[in-house]
Structure 1
């Protein structure tokens, strides 16, 4: 059996949560994935995964072996990066995390160019709005939107996004224009579940006065696209980043409300684990993203 392939496949199955889910990251068929894991278990003489029709879970032996596999795969990856450093050509795999909407709207079109420029590199892109654990889940880099908590991660700023209060013209015609944040109390709001302020929205006025308002939410969603769609259907007011709704503002499908009262401007960072030796492939990706987002589409 190919022990190294078995280890890579086992880690991929755990990270994807299923044999089917691991097909995308490995490029293997489900029978091939199952065969690699079975051969690995037979070689080790222990069961690594508990399989049922509904879920997949690690055995205690599997939990121990998973961390060892990750350490070994990381060491191989770093060895490839050291060779790349000497030749100037990057090789290996990059596992990258990004928020769903931002990743689809503003990063998806970039990956083809990056791979073309680095033909010996393989990308594993994971889109999720949750905060992934870079070390535990084997990520080389993740894009995060918002203030970064204190952690052992290293960050590099890529861009900013401005939160914009807006609604459809039809909604405003039906329910009236807003002139002050306190007017929000009489309106239906569509709120984003992961917003750090919850159902409290904060603004800074023309004289730098600050005010926070408790909104009356008609709909909560953990996805910005869903909030945007509800606003376009004239269901209420949203507070969303301009990277998401910039085209709607340009076309007039949504209009900004109370432009003299500004909500937060939020940084967008690339974060990566602290390492004594940063692999060339990560440095190359960081430089690429900084340059690609120097003049972001939502600002042009």
Structure 2
């Protein structure tokens, strides 16, 4: 199959018509129409509906566009990288990241990254959901404790831990039998009533009695600092509050939290992806996550 015909089809789809694609690319309208027709004949399906004021893709055309847009862009980047001798990273870098990481660290990180690589244009999307890197055209994703996925590869760049955080005004319960101590608590909206928080080693168990249900871990932290109750929080966002005595910790809960930077194993690792992975790993040389990474 002629890849240049596929490129012309994508140009026509992106611009919404043969005439608009012709004006934008400098390629003749007749050439574009012929190349799309050749592609339709090779595939044996109609890709575009002709005759309307604005071009409309058929269902087959929509499927072809969604499945080939990213890979074809990667092939182009690979050719460019080979032609440039794998030179300086360039182009758009799309990053998916969880909201908390984005709020406390990502802005400063990407600012430093583009200062090092000015030919890269960074676009971030911050959502606490699972994103499909291929289908949604992301280059890399930041994930917390990712599950094994044969389609993704990457590196763990930092570790954090969850701790029981409390204001000094709430005394730490003493161990008393098997029943967990009831404590006023600030919890996320996802908290399930009846959950018990147990410090690592089984030394202390508490039964949270929610007084506030909030939608952001930063809001939870601020409520703990204000004295509202005990919370389960990442240690990384408590640094200054602990240092000034506004929060005390009663121990860590569960295993360490790992932060990974991932990209698809099916994607040709372009210079921009390789540079970002190496960059973010280098920002946490001791492997500990802090909200003020190394410069």
In structure 2, the CA distance between the partners of 1:63 and 1:139, relative to structure 1 (3 Å rule), is: farther
Output one character per residue of 1:212-265: Cα deviation in whole Å (capped at 9) or x when no partner: 6553333333421121122122111011101222221112221112x4x65432
Do 2:86 and 2:271's aligned partners in 1 also have CA atoms closer than 8 Å?
no
Rounded to whole Å, the distance in 2 between the matches of 1:94 and 1:198 is 43
Pair 1:178-2:173 in alignment: yes
Do 1:8 and 1:73's aligned partners in 2 also have CA atoms closer than 8 Å?
no
Rounded to whole Å, the distance in 2 between the matches of 1:231 and 1:131 is 29
Paired positions, count: 245
The alignment's TM-score, normalised by the length of structure 1, stands at 0.69
In structure 2, the CA distance between the partners of 1:270 and 1:134, relative to structure 1 (3 Å rule), is: same
Superposition RMSD in Å: 3.5
Do 2:175 and 2:204's aligned partners in 1 also have CA atoms closer than 8 Å?
no
Do 1:84 and 1:91's aligned partners in 2 also have CA atoms closer than 8 Å?
no
Gaps of 5+ in 1: 10-40, 47-60
The alignment's TM-score, normalised by the length of structure 2, stands at 0.70
Aligned to 2:229: 236
Aligned to 1:289: 280
Do 1:80 and 1:91's aligned partners in 2 also have CA atoms closer than 8 Å?
no
Aligned to 1:33: none
In structure 2, the CA distance between the partners of 1:230 and 1:241, relative to structure 1 (3 Å rule), is: same
Output one character per residue of 1:34-67: Cα deviation in whole Å (capped at 9) or x when no partner: xxxxxxx844236xxxxxxxxxxxxxx5796266
Aligned to 2:183: 187
Structure whose residues are more often helix by fraction: 1
Matches within 5 A, 1:90-109: 90-109=89-108
Output one character per residue of 1:170-217: Cα deviation in whole Å (capped at 9) or x when no partner: 3x1xxx322349785421122234579993423322xxx577655333
Aligned to 2:111: 112
List structure 1 segments (4+ residues) > 4 angstroms apart after TM superposition: 61-64, 181-184, 193-198, 209-214
In structure 2, the CA distance between the partners of 1:116 and 1:189, relative to structure 1 (3 Å rule), is: same
Do 1:77 and 1:93's aligned partners in 2 also have CA atoms closer than 8 Å?
no
In structure 2, the CA distance between the partners of 1:188 and 1:196, relative to structure 1 (3 Å rule), is: closer
Aligned to 1:79: 76
Rounded to whole Å, the distance in 2 between the matches of 1:268 and 1:8 is 39
Rounded to whole Å, the distance in 2 between the matches of 1:196 and 1:287 is 38
Aligned to 1:227: 220
Q: Secondary structure at the match of 2:111?
A: helix
Do 1:98 and 1:143's aligned partners in 2 also have CA atoms closer than 8 Å?
yes
Rounded to whole Å, the distance in 2 between the matches of 1:7 and 1:277 is 23
Gaps of 5+ in 2: 1-8, 17-51
- Please point out which of 243, 246, 254 is paired with 1:250: 243
Q: Which has the larger radius of gyration?
A: 2
Rounded to whole Å, the distance in 2 between the matches of 1:289 and 1:198 is 38
Aligned to 1:128: 127
Matches within 5 A, 1:118-157: 118-146=117-145, 148-152=146-150, 153-157=152-156
Q: Secondary structure at the match of 1:215?
A: strand
